[in-house]
A and B are shown apart, each in its own frame.
Chain A
Amino acid sequence: MSPIRMMHLLPVEAYTSQEWFEREQELIFSKVWHYAGFAEDIVEPGQYISVQAGLNNIFIVMGRDRRLRAFHNICRHRGTQLLRAVGKSQKAITCPYHDWTYDLEGNLISVPEEDREFPDLDKSCLGLKPASVDRWRGMLWVHPDPNAGSIMEWFGEIEPELGPHQVDKLVEYPQVRTTTEIKANWKIVVENYIDVYHLSHLHSGTLHMYDHAKAKFGFVGPHYVFWEPLSQWYREDIEKNVMMPLLDEIPRNKIGAWVPMLFPGLGLAENESSWSIYYVMPLAPDSTRVETRTKVKNVSSWEFAMQSWRSGSFWTRNTSAKYEGDAKTDSLATGDFMAEDVYVCEQQQKSLQSPYFEIGATAVSGESPVKEHQQIVLAFIEGNQQAK
């Protein structure tokens, strides 16, 4: 056994130690464009959301010109967080601590008892610190650096590898929104997302409608891209078999699933009938929150009901759990692929504690993305990666 226990290319402590966690927060999650929500989360002047992007808490607010502005969520007086998660303000943002007030351009416009308490204050030097914000693929993105440049420098090259989905025209299906806390390091969660080898095994009864043998995958810069076609038996009568209305914009010869992982932690699942995000947010070395949101075709609920009815018997026949058992107590008996993934991530994290833990072998093709992702993480931590 080697003195340093390794997880492929990274030491095991990269998945367990507070020190690694903090380095990643600083050197990865504070250096890149960070997912902040769906575009439809802010549609009116005054609306805002705040998001933790690595070490930075950033809020986005829409001005009366309908342009989004992003600022570091820190009062310039004594640093108090100004805004809570989501909400709507009028024309100004007031810190709850001493009522210092800023306009939507971030200018400090009012300081209580200014004449008496701050006779020499130059308010023009105490505007909120700006950050960058943009909208891409129906999502809001922030970057802590006000001069981050174009978001397309980060995503431009990957765009052609994504699905033809017209994300802005789809509508959210709020009932299927989920938030899950997984007792595993964020990299275990990401590695599971990009592990092609496990698809036919862990998900043999839940994701078999896709033809994993024909999957095409790889990296574009730090971002992982993946596409696979539908399985023949599902595709044959796709109009009837599909669970929700088919998306028209996907050409029949490309119909399948695009499942990229945008570095460092935004997975997409773009398929024949839906478009979902899988937002990976590290909470602690051994704890990660995953939020999923899904968008579907903008048609009536009647059409959804009809499609569900048409395809019902097909799915009853063709979905099966990994193991038989009580779905209430055993994730592997649920027939739910997300539950299956959460289960194996947590089981792997548990083993990292053991002095006997080691990686036995790595699948040449199916697990190559796992190693490549680790390489990218390493490059960021060692400062070899040009982040934007």
Chain B
Amino acid sequence: MTTQTFHALRVLDAYNPIATAKTVVFDVPNILKDTFRWRAGQHITLRFELNGEEVRRSYTVSSSPVSGEKLCITVKRVLGGLVSNYINNNVRAGDEIEIMSPFGGFCLDPDGKKRRTHYFFGAGSGITPLFSMLQSVLLAEPYSYAYLLYGNTSENSIIFQQTLADLVEQYPERCVVRHVLSNRSVLTSFRPWRTGRIDTDAIWSFIEEHPPYAHDAQYYVCGPGNMNTSVKSALQDIDVPVTRIHSENFGGVVEMDNSFEGIAAKTTVILDGQSHEVHVARGQTLLQAMIAVDLNPPYSCQSGICGACRTKLMAGEVHMRARMALEDTEIEQGEILSCQSVAKTDKIAVVFD
């Protein structure tokens, strides 16, 4: 299924886990159970009509696919953010929201036979995929270990604080959660593991205090801004092989490579098994060109983060302005993000599968 199909899902429940975030629980009818089956770490795209315009946003499913919980997302307010504030202000039980089925390659698929140590490095709302992954490991990978290093600005911005504490109590041998706070309040009894940021020193100390028990160690990173890059380099500095590091960028700024504007190109698009000829104008992205001729390709965030619009380049060359959603190995195999790709050759062919 490549074409984006939205389904209206009813909101079963909506509540505030902390003052600045809202958890929205969806009712998935039986007929859509397979469509909305998700892997820990995947996101869903929500579509709203706000101020007469269609807007889309991707949010990670924060519940674990193996816990029996309902599909839910947890959305933190972003200062000036259109959709996050809309959700926090307005969404309530009984509402219907247009949602596209789960996708995304930043996943952890638990395997009951495997014995691994999963390290999670998260900050702010970057916790949502990690939370789903961590729960899945504890529930469905009984021989594995889950160690979370979790950064927040202050205690009252920690989402899932209580649930995480409960998990540690329930799985004392297999689960570690350590909090790092950048602003530490003196008015609370809560004592974080460290004050400051998840920097190299914090990462190294964390690993030193909690060395891998099982030696198939995997590292998952999800945070805002350049946190992923800095965690990745701190890990590589102590010889963690890059193949063991998995990351997804969340919110914050993405470095854009606007060094090449793009040229006009004749493009063959194979979508849902149909071939289309599309003209990509100079400076236009592949996605923009396809939408302009009323094609219906999959897309979501339009900023290179979510990976919904990925397609395979069969001929020609493109320049990607941002490529956060793709691993290097995927790019080597010809994967591109259509929302970020401008043409470098005058003939291009892509296939959505």
Interface positions of A (Cβ within 8 A of B) = 63-69, 103-105, 133-136, 149-153, 156
Give CA–CA (A24, B310) in the complex, Å. Answer: 53
Q: Which of A64, A65, A104, A134 has the most CB of B within 10 A?
A: A65
For residue A66, which residues in chain B have a CB less than 8 angstroms away from its CB? Answer: 207-208, 211-212
Determine which of B114, B208, B215 lies in contact with A67 in the assembled complex, contact meaning CB atoms within 8 Å.
B215
| Nearest chain B residue, comparing its CB with the CB of A69 | B215
Do B238 and A64 touch across chains, with their CB atoms under 8 A apart? Answer: yes
* Pair B238/A133 contact, Cβ less than 8 Å: no
- The reply on B184 being an interface residue by CB < 8 A is no
B142, chain A: closest CB distance, angstroms: 9
Quick check: B215 and A65 within 8 Å, CB to CB?
no
Are B241 and A135 neighbours in the complex by a CB distance under 8 Å?
Answer: no
Interface size class of B (residues with CB under 8 A): 10 to 19
User: Does residue B176 face the partner (Cβ distance < 8 Å to A)?
Assistant: no
Asked whether A65 and B216 contact (CB < 8 A) given A104-B239, A152-B115, A152-B143, the answer is no
**Are A150 and B239 in touch, CB under 8 angstroms?**
no
| B75 nearest CB across to chain A (Å) | 34
Given contacts A67-B211, A134-B115, 20 further A-B contacts (CB under 8 A): A63-B238, A63-B239, A64-B239, A65-B235, A67-B212, A67-B215, A68-B212, A68-B215, A105-B239, A133-B215, A134-B214, A134-B215, A135-B213, A135-B215, A136-B115, A150-B115, A152-B115, A152-B143, A156-B113, A156-B143
Across the A-B interface, give the 7 residue pairs with the lowest CB-CB distance, nearest first.
Answer: A66-B211, A64-B238, A65-B238, A152-B143, A65-B240, A68-B215, A150-B115
B110 to chain A, nearest CB (A): 13
CB distance from A50 to the nearest CB of B (A): 17
Q: Is the CB of A65 within 8 A of B214?
A: no
The docked-state distance in angstroms from the alpha carbon of A50 to that of B4 is 56
Q: Which A-chain residue is minimally distant from B210 (CB atoms)?
A: A66
A277 to nearest B CB, angstroms? 19
A-B contact pairs, 8 of them (CB 8 A): A65-B240, A66-B208, A66-B211, A104-B239, A134-B115, A134-B215, A150-B113, A152-B113
The answer to the question of B97 belonging to the interface, with a C-beta cut-off of 8 Å to chain A, is no
Given contacts A104-B239, A150-B143, A156-B143, contact A67 B217 (CB under 8 A): yes
- Residue-wise, chain B 239-251 has the 8 Å CB interface mask toward A (1 for contact) of 1110000000000
Q: How far is the CB of B115 from chain A (nearest CB, A)?
A: 5
Which residues of chain A are near B216, meaning CB under 8 Å?
A: 134, 150
Most chain B CB neighbours (cut-off 10 Å) among A63, A67, A149, A153 = A67
B-chain residues with CB within 8 Å of residue A67 when the two chains form the complex: 211-212, 215, 217, 240
Expressed in whole angstroms, the Cα–Cα distance for A149 and B214 within the complex equals: 12
Q: Measured between alpha carbons, how far is A182 from B214 in the docked complex, in Å?
A: 34
Shortest distance between the CB of A246 and any CB in chain B (Å):
21
Q: Indicate which residue in B114, B213, B239 contacts A65 across the interface (CB closer than 8 Å).
A: B239
Find the B residue at minimum CB distance from A149: B113
CB distance from B6 to the nearest CB of A (A): 40
CA distance A150 to B214 in the complex (A): 10
CA distance A135 to B144 in the complex (A): 11
Instruction: Give the complex CA separation of A68 and B238 in angstroms.
Output: 13
Contact B241 A105 (CB under 8 A): yes
In the bound complex, residues from chain B placing their C-beta under 8 Å from that of A150 are: 113-115, 143, 216
Interface string of B203-223 (1 = CB under 8 A from A): 000011001111111000000
- B115 near A151: Cβ-Cβ < 8 Å: yes
Residues in B neighbouring A63, C-beta threshold 8 A = 238-239
A65, B113: Cβ atoms under 8 Å? no
- CA distance in complex: A65, B216 (Å): 12
Bound together, the chains give a CA A150 to CA B143 distance in angstroms of: 10
Give CA–CA (A105, B244) in the complex, Å.
Answer: 13
Chain B residues whose C-beta falls within 8 Å of the C-beta of A65 in the assembled complex:
207, 212, 217, 235, 238-240
Contacts of B115 in A (CB 8 A): 134, 136, 150-152
CB neighbours (8 Å) of A64 from chain B are 238-239
Shortest distance between the CB of A249 and any CB in chain B (Å): 12
Chain A residues whose CB sits within 8 angstroms of the CB of B241 once the complex forms: 105
Partner of A153, one of B113, B207, B208: B113
Q: List the A side residues contacting B214 at CB < 8 Å.
A: 134-135
Distance to closest chain B CB from A60 (angstroms) = 9
Q: Which residues of A lie under 8 Å from residue B238 when comparing CB positions?
A: 63-65
Closest to B117 in A: A67
Q: Which residues of A contact B239 (CB under 8 A)?
A: 63-65, 103-105
Whole-angstrom CA separation of A44 from B259 in the bound complex: 46
User: Please, which residues of chain B bring their CB within 8 A of the CB of A135?
Assistant: 213-215
Residue of B nearest to A60 (CB): B215
